[in-house]
Chains A and B, each alone.
Chain A
Amino acid sequence: MVDARGLSCPMPVLMVQKAMKSKEDYYEVLVDNKTPCENVTRFAESQGYKVAVEEKNGEFLLKISK
């Protein structure tokens, strides 16, 4: 679980990039802004992951899986 709420890009993507060094099949990322949501999705997809986004109360939960 990566909590990147309140952080603006590129921090959230950097955090996900760092987390992905462990090469797990599933990650959850929490952000509270549309821009990092898009950027993390774009990055995860470029790394061969699939991304599902759940939005509630202005926060986005990204479920990133192989």
Chain B
Amino acid sequence: MTKKNDKLMIIIAGLVIGVIAAGLAFLGNPKNMGFCIACFLRDTAGGLGLHKAPPVQYIRPEIIGIVIGAFCAAFAKKEFSSKGGSAPMTRFILGFFAMVGCLMFLGCPFRMILRLAGGDMNALLGLVGFVIGIFCGIFFLKNGYSLKRTYSLTKAEGFMLPIIEVVIFVLLLAKPAFIAFSEEGPGSMHAAIGLALAAGLVVGVLAQRTRLCMVGGMRDLVLFRETRLLWGFIAILVAALITNLVLGGFKFGFVEQPIAHTDGLWNCLGMLLVGFACVLLGGCPLRQLVMSGEGNADSAVTVLGLMVGAAFCHNFGLASSGEGPTSAGKIAVIIGIVVVALIGVVNTYVKQEKAAAEAA
């Protein structure tokens, strides 16, 4: 594929995803939340009873669609392969704290774009933090940070998360008593199951084919002067913005934005933690879902880390609400930034000393 086609393809994919994402909010999803990987994993964790916060319990078909869509696209293109073994526990922890950051800000990088496209200027402070976090991660990348290589695993390993998603989908349809459904709040607002699943499938296929990633854009621009992924990010923003303007979902300002708070400092620090952790992970939460569909067991472990992180956030009052952040949440974000920095240091410098010792 030529370079020009390459860029055109991700722009088209971004535009389609932007329209779908803004559109879902009109088909029943919460405002500026056509897609939010963090929120939807959190809702799914709630639906499965991993946390007991009544307003955010619903198995989101979008997540299932993304994983299965990416799985099908990778399988069709012979890109599916079971791989893993690159610091799974470290990735779990990074996923955990990425979620703590997301739920401080109230959205993953994907929703940050959608909030911007909805006129929510609090997301602008999130973006500032996000970029700072990415620069923190890049500092370690430039100095040799690595979680070491993956290895080929048994075929079954790569199928695990896609199969789990199918099982969860069956639970969503069957509605057994132990699956929770929010009766009010964001978890009660959702598009029809079929529509949400279809939207997820389309996004999953497009994201797999284009390698779309919300942190990758900024990262590659800084590291390699490579703008391809950033065009995907911009295309989503533009398409969602236009869709919102046409459908009347645009509301400019800081106050009374849907599922958002106005504490600028903590919006910024929350997304700083997300950007930092995601660069060390090698991709945003959306990309982690897509890679787990491609058979990457490390990404699947990261997704579990995100879900457990979400469960902790709601079990221990770490997640923000429309009223603002909680003091426990602030402490958790600070701990998260420290832990992620330590993971960066250990996997950048300690390893080099060891390599030097081996060489000697």
Contact = CB atoms under 8 A, between A and B. Distances in A.
Nearest to B211: A35
Nearest to B228: A42
A5 to B, nearest CB: 7
Nearest to A5: B149
B282 A9 contact: yes
Interface residues of A, number: 19
B6 to A, nearest CB: 7
Nearest to B281: A8
B226 A42 contact: yes
B146 A11 contact: yes
B149 A34 contact: no
B224 interface: yes
The contact size tier of chain B is: 20 to 34
B92 to A, nearest CB: 16
A17 B296 CA distance: 25
A46 interface: yes
B149 A13 contact: no
Contacts of A7: 146, 149-150
Contact of B86 (A6, A14, A38): A6
Interface in A1-49: 5-11, 13-14, 17, 33-35, 38, 42-43, 45-46
Contact of A10 (B81, B225, B282): B282
Contacts of B77: 34
Contact of A42 (B3, B141, B219): B3
Given A35-B211, A58-B81, A6 B223 contact: no
Given A13-B223, A35-B211, A46-B226, A6 B83 contact: yes
Closest 6 A-B residue pairs measured CB to CB? A6-B149, A6-B150, A34-B79, A8-B282, A7-B149, A35-B211
Given A8-B291, A10-B224, A13-B223, 10 more contacts: A5-B149, A6-B83, A6-B148, A8-B150, A8-B296, A9-B216, A14-B141, A17-B224, A35-B211, A38-B211
Interface of B: 3, 6, 77, 79, 81, 83, 86, 141-142, 146, 148-151, 211, 216, 219-220, 223-226, 228, 282, 291, 296
9 contacts: A6-B151, A8-B291, A10-B216, A11-B146, A14-B141, A14-B142, A33-B81, A34-B77, A58-B81
Interface of A: 5-11, 13-14, 17, 33-35, 38, 42-43, 45-46, 58
